[in-house]
Amino acid sequence: MGEITAVIEVVARELLLFAAAGLLIGGLDDLLVDLLYFARRIIKGPATPIRSYALPRPVRSGRIIVFTPAWDESAVIGAMLSTALGRFRHPDYRIYVGLYPNDPATILAAADVAERDDRIRLVIGSRDGPTTKADCLNTLWHALQRDMAAEDFQAKAIVLHDAEDVVHPDELTVFDSLIEERAVVQLPVLPLVVPGSRLVSGHYADEFAESHIKQLVVRTWIGAGMPLAGTGCAISPAMLGRIAASRGGDPFDATSLTEDYELGLRIAELGGQGLFARVADGTRGGVVAVRAYFPATLLAAVRQKARWMTGIALIGWDRTGWGRALAMGDHWWRLRDRRGPIAMLVLAAAYLGMFTDALAIALHWIANTPLSPVHPGLRMLFGINALLLLWRLAVRMTFTGRAYGWREALWSLPRFIIGNFVALAAIPRALIRYIHVLRGGVAAWDKTSHHFPDLSTQS
């Protein structure tokens, strides 16, 4: 019994040492982002977003085009399109909906709205679905090129939206004003908390609040490429045309699982200026942002996080590599993008170490033997990591509170654990998908089921 306890104790201490070192590196990495955010606020002063009604009037005219790819979205596409038509305050726009011939339910739902408003343009691709979201976007791009040639109009901006998005009334006005001197403009994405799933769906709200209030601001400030969120972003048609010319006519890489992430980095590599736009809502308070329900069950959340991890941290590393040679800020942030699998390995070691340490303590108690002393260095690591964790939770609460109020800020504490569990559970699925692609498998649209909110209950 004593030898078994000693072995368990050694395993526990080694696991905890590995985890403590990894958590220290990750914690200091996150702390540096926080310090840069506060440094920017000191240098530039507190951010005061311009009101949407005070934006400069557009100089150039042109139609705003919205691309909405839709595979198996019959439950949401009708409500999304109807809401967009009722909300958008812009005189000249058209929504292109990408559909598949073997998805009649989604075609019927979209057609029901399109037959009442000619600003909806249905585009049914030639291939059965699912392909990839990027492939569907390419189909929409080619349809737009044909329409511009046939109808003699020019697109001023191409806006990406998902089929479950709740659009903001002022977003096209914002894009119309801000895209003129830029290659891409990204609005904040603020997930809605699904009723009855405050823990699972709410952890997306916490993560996006911190990402889109702090991290993207710091990222663009230090000159790193701005990845797109895949929704709520406007891209210059000239930039997309430039990318398409280098890819045989397709601006979106049809083999990519995270085309939005890669497209943002590609635009930056080509010298395109990007803007993360926090514009104050002119009438309702808050900011002009995209809102949507995110996965509300653990299984759906794991599937989505696995897709993101595969596309960004694994396949994305192979596909995008590193930035310009001396672009240290870009190198650092791409490394942050790719740290997910390693961070989850460290986290798994921490949980396993705590479990085995608790087991060793229990065995010592049963055998009535003294515990081995903890090395002072390990004790110091534990103390530093505890302080970093408290700081991390305080920062998470702060940014969640800014976006959602104090009640959701309090809920962000238990959701921090839920987010860790979801990310841990996503690792095996991400690795399986990565190996599948390495062995010659074809990337496919691994989407989750979506729901459209009851807008009468949303503020």
Q: What is the pLDDT of residues 365-422, one digit of tens each?
A: 888 888 888 889 999 999 999 999 999 999 999 999 999 999 999 999 999 999 999 9
Distance between CA 60 and CA 233 in Å, rounded? 19
Residue found by looking up tokens 């349809």 in the block: 143
46 in any annotated domain: no
Cα of first residue to Cα of last residue in the chain, in angstroms, is 61
Distance between CA 290 and CA 212 in Å, rounded? 11
452 in any annotated domain: no
> What residue numbers bound the domain in which 20 lies?
1-39+331-439
244 in any annotated domain: yes
**Would you state the pLDDT for residue 375?**
87
Give the range with max mean pLDDT: 112-116, 428-432, 439-443, 450-454.
Answer: 112-116
Distance set, CA 51 to CA 20, 58, 260, 284 (Å) = 45, 15, 27, 11
Reported as a single tens digit per residue, the pLDDT across 109-141 is 999 999 999 999 999 999 999 999 999 999 999
Same domain, 172 and 227: yes
| Degrees, nearest 5: CA angle 144-149-153 | 80
Same domain, 276 and 349: no
Question: Could you tell me whether strands 274-276 and 184-186 are parallel, antiparallel, or unpaired per DSSP bridges?
Answer: parallel
Strand order in the sheet with 63-69: 120-124, 93-99, 63-69, 155-160, 233-235, 184-186, 274-276
**Residues linked to residue 96 through DSSP beta bridges, in sequence order:** 67, 121
Of the candidate ranges 66-75, 123-132, 312-321, 355-364, the one whose mean pLDDT is the lowest: 312-321
User: Cβ neighbours of residue 213 under 8 Å, at least 6 residues apart?
Assistant: 188, 278, 399, 402, 403
Distance between CA 137 and CA 339 in Å, rounded? 29
Q: Convert 70-87 to b/e letters by CB count within 10 Å (16 or more is b).
A: bbbbbbbbbbbbbbbbee
Same domain, 142 and 68: yes
What average pLDDT does this structure show over 419-434?
94
What average pLDDT does this structure show over 251-266?
91
Report residue 324's pLDDT band, with 50, 70 and 90 as the boundaries: confident
Residues, the chain: 459
Report residue 459's pLDDT band, with 50, 70 and 90 as the boundaries: very low
**Would you state the pLDDT for residue 284?**
65
268 in any annotated domain: yes
179 in any annotated domain: yes
Closest alpha carbon to 359 in 87, 12, 24: 12
396 in any annotated domain: yes
**Would you state the pLDDT for residue 38?**
95
Report the percentage of the chain scoring pLDDT > 70. Answer: 98
Look at residue 458 and tell me whether its pLDDT is greater than 60: no
Look at residue 457 and tell me whether its pLDDT is greater than 60: no
CB atoms within 10 A of CB 279: 25
Same domain, 417 and 273: no
DSSP assignments along 190-215, one per residue: EEEPPTT-TTHHHHHHHHHHHIIIII
Token readout for 422 is: 């979801």
321 in any annotated domain: no
**Would you state the pLDDT for residue 412?**
98
Look at residue 45 and tell me whether its pLDDT is greater than 90: no
**Would you state the pLDDT for residue 220?**
92
Look at residue 256 and tell me whether its pLDDT is greater than 50: yes
CATH of the domain at 82: 3.90.550.10
Distance between CA 29 and CA 24 in Å, rounded? 8
**Would you state the pLDDT for residue 48?**
67
450 in any annotated domain: no
Q: Is the dihedral of CA 178, 180, 182, 183 positive or negative?
A: positive
Number of separate domains in the chain:
2
Same domain, 4 and 99: no
Token readout for 18 is: 């590995």
Q: Convert 225-263 to b/e letters by CB count within 10 Å (16 or more is b).
A: bbbbbbbbbbbbbebbebbbeeeeebbbbbebbbbbbbb
Same domain, 97 and 13: no
Beta strands in 321-408 (DSSP E): none
Q: Evaluate whether 118 touches 159 at the Cβ level (below 8 Å).
A: no
Same domain, 68 and 165: yes
Burial label, 403 (beta-carbon count in 10 A; 0-12, 13-18, 19+): buried
Q: Which residue has the higher pLDDT, 319 or 166?
A: 166
Q: Evaluate whether 214 touches 398 at the Cβ level (below 8 Å).
A: no
- In angstroms and rounded to an integer, the radius of gyration of the C-alpha atoms of the chain is 24
Same domain, 109 and 251: yes
Token readout for 257 is: 């699982």
For 77, what's the count of Cα atoms within 13 Å in the CB-facing half-sphere?
A: 27
User: Cβ neighbours of residue 446 under 8 Å, at least 6 residues apart?
Assistant: 257, 303, 307, 433
The amino acid present at 447, given as its one-letter code, is K
Same domain, 226 and 119: yes
For the chain, the maximum distance between any two Cα atoms, rounded to a whole number of angstroms, is 87
Same domain, 192 and 267: yes
Closest alpha carbon to 158 in 174, 143, 141, 146: 141
Reported as a single tens digit per residue, the pLDDT across 176-218 is 999 998 999 999 999 999 999 999 999 999 999 999 999 999 9
Same domain, 136 and 61: yes
Q: Is the dihedral of CA 295, 297, 300, 304 positive or negative?
A: positive
Of the candidate ranges 100-104, 179-183, 326-330, 427-431, the one whose mean pLDDT is the lowest: 326-330
Distance between CA 372 and CA 358 in Å, rounded? 13
**Would you state the pLDDT for residue 441?**
79
Distance set, CA 106 to CA 353, 408, 447 (Å) = 48, 34, 15
Same domain, 216 and 285: yes
